[in-house]
Structure 1
Amino acid sequence: MRAMWELLLDKSYSLEELSAVSNRLYANAQKAEAAYLKLISKFPKSKTTLRFFARFCFDVKNDPIRGSALIEKANDLELENESGSEADENDKTSAKKGPSNANSQADLPMLLSSKSGLSRKSTSQSQGQLEIKKTKGPGSIASSHASSASAQKRAQVALQQQRATKLRAKSLAIQILILVSTTIALTIIGTNFGIALSILQESSRGLSTMFEIHMKVLYLQSVSKSSPTSKRLSS
């Protein structure tokens, strides 16, 4: 779970990497559940195993009903063990009673004190079990459910933020491509227009030069025809 939160906090990881981590965590949770079931089938009266499996159901599997049932089973086993040990102790004290009345009168205060001590011990332990039931009852179930719901909500918010960031990056890249392509097209059009304009200017200059040369030739021909020397030469 810690690896999952570290990946969610780091924005450089992709959605595929997060999916791979979540799949790995799910597989590990399945293996852990199978191991707990094997332990419980092998040691059905182990209160420690039952309580650890209940915590696993609360924190990992998000199954408060199953976790509460496991805690109640562990508490019942503990109460059964306490009642059995108290009955054994009573049998031992009754067997230790001697035939003489003096010994029984002498041992009576000790037996009473031992019984009262056992009763106080069993009472305190039963109160402790009730406190455990209270602390691990509906309140802890609700808090565990609320924490898991808030964790799921934070994960969804983080995924939505990553998707929004990717969409913004894609739209920005598309806008940049459109701007660059438009600039290149306008540059090409402007260059072609300048080249065509320069060609037209050069063509007009060439035509005007040719027209001037033609006019000069015509003028010289007319002058040469009208001059007297040309007439003499012709005569």
Structure 2
Amino acid sequence: MTDTSETFLQTTRTSYDAIAKDYAARFPAGGRHPLDHALITVFAELVTQAGPAPVADLGSGPGHGTALLDELGVPAFGVDLSPAMVTLARGTYPQLRFHIGSMTSLDLPDATLGGILALYSTIHVPDTHLPAAFAEFHRTLLPGGHALLAFQTGADPGHLHLPERFGHEIDLDYYWRTPDQITGLLTEAGLDLVATVRREPSGEETHARGFVLARKPGGGA
């Protein structure tokens, strides 16, 4: 059972349950920026080279990232805090596995994942809880496993609270962080930096996008 004792877990879950269908319609499969797609492809190549271990798509939402990994030949499954999102993903991609869960407390054994994908999902985790999430990344990754994070970024960290989206009443917090901030926390969790990328806003985006690729030490070259 998912632990929702923390207030931010409760509000994030309830908010995404409320907007799940509208969110999926607003962000359809195939709507990803080409650079985002290219970085996910590189991530898929890295975890494939390391071996056949599964990859967890944390904050999988409607399941599009999980499905892309599957298309790229990666054995992937999705984890999301919102039961409504998990239901949508299962309906859209019935051949794939999706589970309800939180990245701050993963119901997964130690050292079993070949990779972790976290696309715009750490943005709802408060600063005080990010170390716990990244400790879970380190715990569940195999030595040599990779993690790819994508998030909104800017010159300085920031925070936004939204009480409404898509016409629904919600209680959702967004945090944008610098790549250096994310890299520092991943390093403290025991992961090594592989690369950082910054993409400028495109289309209706209001913030630049940051990407951090990290690796758990060990497992050969």
Q: Could you state the TM-score of these two structures normalised by the residue count of structure 2?
A: 0.18
Q: Could you state the TM-score of these two structures normalised by the residue count of structure 1?
A: 0.17
Higher strand fraction (1 or 2): 2
